[in-house]
Chain A
Amino acid sequence: MSRQIVLISLVALLAGGTACDSCRHAPVGAVQLKLPTETPQRPQGMKALDVKPGAEPFSQADVTQYVQTHRLAKSVGDLSQLQVESLQFITAREVSGRLQNVSTGLPDDQRVAFAVIKGPLYFSGPAPGKPVAFERAYALFDAQTGNLLMSGTLERGKASTGGDNQPK
């Protein structure tokens, strides 16, 4: 009997501990919203390049044609001026190394294509959002699907250094 009481007490304590796990962290007056715990989808990107069979699924010329006709997110400027300086097929892990520890959301060994784009390109942020000039930017494509996965800035434009964010 006493063993049963001890066992029930132990179960109750454990159950109570679990139930109050979130209560212990509850800030006064705040409401709780649980975060999703399911496995998220892998980034699919947006449709960009056609993939050809062979060692090189798409070429530097294909990427040039793409960036001269499709705008990278949050950028403005004359697309016809953009040039692709290089296109390398590397792993997602190498991308993180090149982009200062950026998280790609991809498996480390996933094969991607990293394109360096010479501008100038102009990017802007939240309001009032004046454009900032960058000499170089990048675009990252899925080597298997040709989809655009990421894009962003590399080198700041020389014309707009020195605290003045406005392109001349």
Chain B
Amino acid sequence: MSIQIRFGSRVLQLVVLGFLLGAAAHAQTTTYSCGNPQSGHCYGVNSWTQSGEYFGAYTDIAQVAMSCPSGCGGFVDDEIWLIDRSSSNCTTNDFQMCWVEAGTIESEGSNPTYFWADARPGTGNTFNAHYLGGTDPVGTVDHYMIVKDGRSSPNNYLIFIYDDSHSTLYNGTSSVAGTGGCGSALPQMAGTEIDIGQELAGSPSAANKASAASANFTRNIWAVQALDSSYTFWYNAQTAAGGVRSDNPPTASWTINPGSSGAPEGGQFTTRCCS
């Protein structure tokens, strides 16, 4: 009897050990398929939409350790987008939508870099990415702002990336695309969607997959009017979660719901990749 129990116990130990080893091996070998030319990227994002215009978007993102080694086949980033999917000048551009985005990107074989990009109305030179510089140390909370400039006509969008002390301060201008000198400039987009979160691209082997530590998005606010002579971002805070997409990876969720008791302004949305 005692021999049976001891034998059974040994079998159980082996089963448990095998399970643990298998799980560890699975964790090492599992990877992701997030974008070759035939499929789309993967996202861990929250999306807010409204019928009226968002004149700007803003979030705070803490810098985290990111990696996309040679062979990762794409990139990983944390960022904010202001999007127009419905204006006729946007639905007819190369992407069938316009947007302005800003964030931190880790591209294959590079280091984490502040960037902003836009896809403007019109075709041809639709998409432009601007690489600003290396990011602040891990743990630094940086501010990412996109705002429509009502002081100019047609309206540009201004992009700011900065830290509390403004020792890091980059800006950019998403200008209205010209028409090659053969007519008036195309009308600017009107954002009705704000997304925050992580984008992941590539279909690497397990040894080359990207990674990004947990990043918190806080102070999620939006501009209620275009920038005027007061040079102020007049805002309302997001008070409810939007639609969440978590492709696992990236993994994304609300860790503190906006509007909940004691929540920071605009809640706290968290992303990570790729374990």
Binding site for B on A (CB under 8 A): 21-22, 24-27, 29-41, 43-47, 69-74, 76-77, 98-105, 120, 122-134, 147-156, 165-167
Given known contacts A124-B41, A131-B35, A131-B40, A152 and B178 CB-to-CB distance under 8 angstroms: no
The 12 listed contacts between A and B (C-beta, < 8 Å) are A27-B225, A31-B221, A46-B111, A47-B111, A99-B125, A126-B195, A131-B38, A132-B95, A149-B130, A151-B129, A153-B124, A167-B38
Determine whether the beta carbon of A132 is less than 8 Å from that of B176.
no
CA gap between A101 and B73 in the complex, in Å? 31
- CB-defined contacts of A36 to chain B, threshold 8 Å: 160, 162, 166, 169, 171
Determine whether the beta carbon of B236 is less than 8 Å from that of A31.
yes
Q: Among the listed A71, A74, A127, which residue makes an inter-chain contact with B127, where contact means beta carbons less than 8 Å apart?
A: A74
B258 located at the interface, meaning its Cβ lies under 8 Å from any Cβ of chain A in the complex: no
Q: Which residue of A lies closest to B115 (CB)?
A: A73
- CB-defined contacts of A101 to chain B, threshold 8 Å: 175-178, 185
B99 located at the interface, meaning its Cβ lies under 8 Å from any Cβ of chain A in the complex: yes
Mask: chain B, 150-193; 1 = CB below 8 Å from A; 0 = not: 00000010101010001011111111111110000100000000
Mask: chain B, 250-267; 1 = CB below 8 Å from A; 0 = not: 000000000000000000
Determine whether the beta carbon of B175 is less than 8 Å from that of A156.
no
Determine whether the beta carbon of B125 is less than 8 Å from that of A26.
no
Determine whether the beta carbon of B170 is less than 8 Å from that of A35.
no
- CB-defined contacts of B169 to chain A, threshold 8 Å: 36, 38-41
- CB-defined contacts of A128 to chain B, threshold 8 Å: 40, 43
Mask: chain B, 201-236; 1 = CB below 8 Å from A; 0 = not: 110000000000000000001001101111111111
